[in-house]
A and B are shown apart, each in its own frame.
Chain A
């Protein structure tokens, strides 16, 4: 157990729907990062939050949004889902920069 908890582990939904992925960071970690892993794009950075505020944005689609709550857990919202959104979505957390992250085990999203 890495200490980073992601729920749910698996999600199957239809095109056009909206889903919410949840992440609880390791105790004491203020930064939360979201990544998408797909066969064609590999691992892509989506967004980072630090202590409730957005710190950096990557290749995140406008249909996707995220937030970090006062208790530091984070949610990634994916809407108007398309088949191409099927992927593994990872959350990671860290306390300091440059020392590497701790990743959760991911949420596998399948859009049918």
Chain B
């Protein structure tokens, strides 16, 4: 079945450092790919998405490119802030699987220190 594998955490960075969180997927069809962020005590918020190969999703300085050839959707940010501290989830939705459910990775906890 469909699955998402993302970089194990936790990740600790200093403010203004570069961030990359790796995410790879397995899907039978042509999925849409997402990054969600969960701040402490809150629900998940959609950070960015890409619906087809070579699409780049971007939001709040974060970017991820849908790479079909490597089945990857790595999350990047050039300069992180303390406010970026959260748990980040990579996810896919594969309508050809017959459902609109999201399949999530296990999450990567990011801590940014001042």
Q: Is the CB of B32 within 8 A of A98?
A: yes
Measured CA separation A99–B33 after assembly (Å): 9
Chain B residues positioned under 8 Å from A33 (CB to CB): 100-102
Sorting the interface of chain A by its residue count into under 10, 10 to 19, 20 to 34 or 35 or more gives 20 to 34
Which chain A residue shows the least CB distance to B47?
Answer: A100
Measured CA separation A58–B99 after assembly (Å): 9
Q: Is the CB of A102 within 8 A of B46?
A: yes
Which chain B residue shows the least CB distance to A41?
Answer: B106
Contact partner, A90, options B43, B46, B49, B93, Cβ 8 Å: B43
Measured CA separation A106–B36 after assembly (Å): 15
A25 at interface, CB cutoff 8 A: no
Chain B residues positioned under 8 Å from A100 (CB to CB): 32, 34, 46, 49
A residues with a Cβ closer than 8 A to B are: 2, 4, 31, 33, 35, 42-43, 45, 48, 55-56, 58, 90, 92, 94, 97-106
